[in-house]
Structure 1
Amino acid sequence: MTQNPHIILSASRRTDIPAFYTDWFMDRIKLGVFKTKNPYTKTIKAVEASKDTIHSIVFWSKNYDAFIKARAGEKLTRLGFNIYFNFTINSESSLLEPNIPPLNKRLEQLKELVCLFGPEKISWRFDPVCFYKTSDTGRVKNNLSNFPVIAKKASELGIQKCVTSFFDHYPKIKRRLKILSKINHPSVFFTDPAMDKKTQVIHRMEKLLAGTKVKLYLCCEKQVLSNFDTQTPDRQSAEIKSRVSANSCIDGNLLKTIFGGNPEFKRDYGQRSKQGCRCTKSIDVGLYDDHPCFHNCLFCYANPKIDTTLKTAIQ
């Protein structure tokens, strides 16, 4: 008799649970149930949370400090839960990511997670790659300055995955930037590089990772990936044989390889499959209304709280 696959929990694409809601998450684990809400239909569903129903928990965060201090990972492991970490570590930028800890603190967190759980259970995300102008200079800038430093540290710690994508121009972000310009915030204009430029950036990132065990993956960049091998790289990158491939940020096959068991394997077509998302089906326990994120990243697609706060500020 075939057993039903066990659930993969996502915590969370919608907010930063490890940074702001670790206590809430652990309380729900103690109660043995999560109440999820569909962000579109508002339908509420109860999800049993026990080691017998959950195959693994995939955490997403830019700041694991509260999670580490609460020893949440060790507690979950002792309870029999398998845990995996998506850790976004971008270059230091008070403009793009105003409420993120300094880079050295985030790298210390990465080391701590590796020591506690092993590098194979951690994916480093450098996401998104941004090109933008500010009103003070008008010159096109990017957020790649600290990529070599982060890559070196990740490699030393045994991390094997770097996941990246390019900034997506969502209408809500354009509206957010327009509001910011009215409250004495430096005007920011995100630009969308040509495909050749994106290809060159990926080649440069790959070159920086050459000689390490860190492999570069693309998240929801179907067009970039399809053009990657057909574009002519710059001369310095030509000697590198490309290893870049599409990523599954929640990957049932990878989770089975690491933990064994019987996870879900079906594709999650509720994500951006048309853009190349390859994620496995999961249940996200984050709630937009109840779990506002306070990082206030300018490029965030998932945080309605920042936009509501900004609208209030100019009224």
Structure 2
Amino acid sequence: MNCTELALKEFLVTAKINTYAGDGVLCASLRLNSKDLHYNEGNLLYIDYYFGSADFIGEEVVFENQKPIWGMNYYGKMLIDEIPSGFSSPKSGYLSQYNLYFQFTITGYAKLLEPNVVDTNEAVKQMEQLARRYSPQQINWRFNPIILSIKGENEPIPDNFASARLKVFEALCRDISSFGVNRCTISFLCLYKKVEQRMKESKFTYLIPSQQQQIELVSQFVEIADKYGVTIYTCTSPIIEGVPGVKKGHCIDGAYLGALFGKRASHAKDAWQRKECGCTRSKDIGAYSGQSCGHGCLYCYAR
């Protein structure tokens, strides 16, 4: 083999970046039901035979002058460390080549709304582990959607739906800010037709706050967040963007990511998103088909 170990390592990093993020060039599929991506540089050729499925199964091979010199089978569980609690944390060795930023939703709702979501206290522990492994700045806590109800709360306050949400928010602010995470995105429930129908079928009743009620409630969120040094961002919520202390959110924020990792990222608005969306241009490697979420949240627009 003429390719040195260092040259192979550098080639693999470049090849993975150019294929794993969805930029790879499709080539003729060599194996049944596989989706093959390739990247070549000089006399080196990298092929990722991706078999799909929720288990993330495939094989990577590097050829030098058309002869295989390196190969690896992969399976979704190869990319994670198993934590005793059952939480799977990204394996830093494999992912160290990537700049990681986490959107982490913790809402503290009852099982009726989030039947298969991990216990809230456990979720906070998981977030803390990510913050310690990477950094608090690489995590955005999502406290959304905001749903005002009785059955959706673990400790409901029947005569004041909003107070129950504020109580949960303050407890989470206290715990999450203790390990340095200080960004929080909020938004109110967006009633897509299928979500509304799902709510009706589940006989789940909730309060739809007026614009003024939203503004007043968010002002209370800001007051709480300020106590713990947390900044509130919106997600496609023009109504509450004008509330003092609230900043327009960008789930994908090119300016923030560029500053965080010291690399260039697009600041241009993603033209394919909703008008109110603040996200900057990116390439989405996820999918609504072939990948499943078992949380079963009643409010989920992707179900």
TM-score (norm 2): 0.67
Closer, same or farther: CA 22–76 of 1 in aligned 2, 3 Å: farther
Match of residue 161, structure 2, among 116, 141, 147: 141
Query: For 1:126, what is the secondary structure of its paired residue?
Result: strand
Aligned partners of 2:19, 2:170: CA distance in 1, in Å?
36
Aligned partners of 1:247, 1:140: CA distance in 2, in Å?
28
State yes or no: 1:179 paired with 2:179. Answer: no
More deviation in 120-129 or 263-272? 263-272
State yes or no: 1:300 paired with 2:300. Answer: yes
Higher RCO (CA < 8 A, seq sep 6+): 1
Measured after TM superposition, the shift of residue 175 of structure 1 is 1.9
Aligned partners of 2:180, 2:246: CA distance in 1, in Å?
18
State yes or no: 1:121 paired with 2:141. Answer: no
Measured after TM superposition, the shift of residue 131 of structure 1 is 1.9
Aligned partners of 1:176, 1:256: CA distance in 2, in Å?
39
Closer, same or farther: CA 70–101 of 1 in aligned 2, 3 Å: closer
State yes or no: 1:194 paired with 2:194. Answer: no
Query: For 1:210, what is the secondary structure of its paired residue?
Result: helix
State yes or no: 1:254 paired with 2:256. Answer: yes
Alignment-derived partner of residue 312 in structure 1: none
**Larger gyration radius, structure 1 or structure 2:** 2
Alignment-derived partner of residue 58 in structure 1: none
Aligned partners of 2:198, 2:84: CA distance in 1, in Å?
28
Alignment-derived partner of residue 68 in structure 2: none
Closer, same or farther: CA 9–106 of 1 in aligned 2, 3 Å: farther
Report if aligned partners of 2:150, 2:206 keep a CA contact under 8 Å in 1: yes
Closer, same or farther: CA 245–297 of 1 in aligned 2, 3 Å: same
Measured after TM superposition, the shift of residue 190 of structure 1 is 3.5
Closer, same or farther: CA 157–113 of 1 in aligned 2, 3 Å: same
Alignment-derived partner of residue 238 in structure 2: 222
Alignment-derived partner of residue 290 in structure 2: 290
Structure 1 stretches lacking a partner, 5+ long: 1-5, 11-20, 33-63, 181-186, 229-241, 304-315
TM-score (norm 1): 0.65
What whole-Å deviation, never above 9, does each CA across 1:173-192 have from its counterpart, x for those lacking one? 12223333xxxxxx113332
Measured after TM superposition, the shift of residue 287 of structure 1 is 2.0
Moved over 6 A (4+): 64-68, 137-140
Count matched residues: 231
Query: For 2:227, what is the secondary structure of its paired residue?
Result: coil
RMSD: 3.3
Match of residue 160, structure 1, among 164, 167, 182: 182
Structure 2 stretches lacking a partner, 5+ long: 1-17, 23-51, 62-81, 152-156
Closer, same or farther: CA 81–67 of 1 in aligned 2, 3 Å: farther
Match of 1:296, as an amino acid? G
Match of residue 74, structure 1, among 92, 111, 114: 92
Measured after TM superposition, the shift of residue 284 of structure 1 is 1.8
Match of 2:161, as an amino acid? K
Query: For 2:103, what is the secondary structure of its paired residue?
Result: strand
More deviation in 141-150 or 94-103? 141-150
Alignment-derived partner of residue 97 in structure 1: 114
Query: For 1:125, what is the secondary structure of its paired residue?
Result: strand
Alignment-derived partner of residue 106 in structure 1: 123
Alignment-derived partner of residue 48 in structure 1: none
